[in-house]
């Protein structure tokens, strides 16, 4: 029987990645390099003859456009795409839109590393009156205001990602389907930690690069057994 596989891809470089800014829920487009990275990821998948049954992404254009580029190159643009805010990047609170080097100068490298990579440390919260608060964005108008984050740790990001995985994506995986998820560094870190049973202390070491396909293999009981980057 054909092996059940899950492919995870972080979006290609965005314009704010290039400028070294905390992006979070800001809807920033791909840079030229990001588009090229998406095309390169597609070529790797095409070389291995990947054919997908389902695809999922966030409601942020850098992930949506990365997925569209990949499916186009695979000649699978017809594939249904399900979008969910639950796959968004973690919300960086007051840090959103700020240059990372400037934040390090203000708060120190150690604290900023904890904000970026640790499991349960959140950045400073954003005020709901701030124009950057996602509650002002019509794409989140259907949400209860208490669901919209003011700033998230990996732990709180996981609290919104994992219900979506368990209720929506995992049932499709159990049908032995090949699934492609294009999302963000931290929503994917949350999934990686859960599926591969990564310790809370070890997750700080996991940094997912842009547009590098991660292949996760599952056994007959639908348990993740191994993962690797596609090269």
* 220 burial level (CB within 10 Å; 0-12, 13-18, 19+): exposed
For residue 53, say whether it is annotated as part of any ligand binding site: no
For residue 107, say whether it is annotated as part of any ligand binding site: no
93 vs 123: CA distance, rounded Å: 6
Which entry of 89, 96, 152, 184 is annotated as an active-site residue?
Answer: 89
For residue 91, say whether it is annotated as part of any ligand binding site: yes
For residue 151, say whether it is annotated as part of any ligand binding site: no
Which entry of 11, 26, 65, 184 is annotated as an active-site residue?
Answer: 11
Whether 205 and 212 have beta carbons less than 8 Å apart is answered as: no
**Per-residue buried b or exposed e for 96-132, using 16+ beta carbons within 10 Å of the residue's own CB:** beeeeeebeeeeeeeebebbbbbbeebbeebeeeeeb
For residue 140, say whether it is annotated as part of any ligand binding site: no
For residue 187, say whether it is annotated as part of any ligand binding site: no
Q: What is the radius of gyration, based on Cα positions, of the chain?
A: 17
Q: Is 11 a catalytic residue?
A: yes
For residue 24, say whether it is annotated as part of any ligand binding site: yes
Q: Is 205 a catalytic residue?
A: no
For residue 132, say whether it is annotated as part of any ligand binding site: no
Segments in the chain forming alpha helices (H): 15-18, 32-47, 61-73, 100-107, 109-117, 154-164, 170-173, 185-196
For residue 4, say whether it is annotated as part of any ligand binding site: no
Q: What are the binding residues?
A: 10-17, 23-24, 62, 89-92, 100, 116-117, 185-186
The binding site for substrate consists of 10-17, 23-24, 62, 89-92, 100, 116-117, 185-186
Q: Point out the residues that are catalytic.
A: 11, 89
């Amino acid at each position: 029987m054909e092996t059940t596989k899950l492919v995870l891809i972080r979006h290609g470089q965005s314009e704010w990645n290039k400028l070294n800014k905390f992006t979070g829920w800001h809807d920033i487009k791909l840079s030229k390099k990001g588009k090229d990275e998406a095309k390169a990821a597609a070529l790797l998948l095409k070389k291995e003859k990947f054919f997908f049954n389902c695809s999922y992404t966030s409601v942020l254009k850098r992930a949506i456009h990365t997925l569209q580029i990949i499916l186009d190159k695979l000649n699978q643009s017809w594939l249904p795409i399900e979008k969910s805010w639950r796959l968004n990047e973690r919300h960086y609170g007051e840090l959103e839109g700020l240059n990372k080097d400037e934040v390090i100068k203000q708060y120190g490298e150690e604290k900023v590393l904890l904000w970026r990579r640790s499991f349960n440390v959140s950045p400073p919260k954003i005020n709901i009156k701030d124009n950057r608060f996602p509650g002002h964005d019509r794409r989140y108008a259907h949400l209860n205001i208490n669901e919209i984050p003011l700033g998230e740790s990996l732990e709180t990001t996981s609290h919104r990602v994992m219900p979506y995985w368990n209720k929506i994506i995992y049932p499709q995986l159990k049908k032995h389907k090949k699934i492609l998820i294009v999302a963000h560094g931290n929503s994917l870190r949350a999934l990686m930690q859960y599926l591969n049973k990564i310790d809370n202390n070890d997750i700080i070491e996991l940094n997912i690069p842009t547009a590098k396909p991660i292949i996760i293999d599952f056994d007959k009981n639908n348990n993740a057994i191994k993962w690797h980057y596609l090269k």
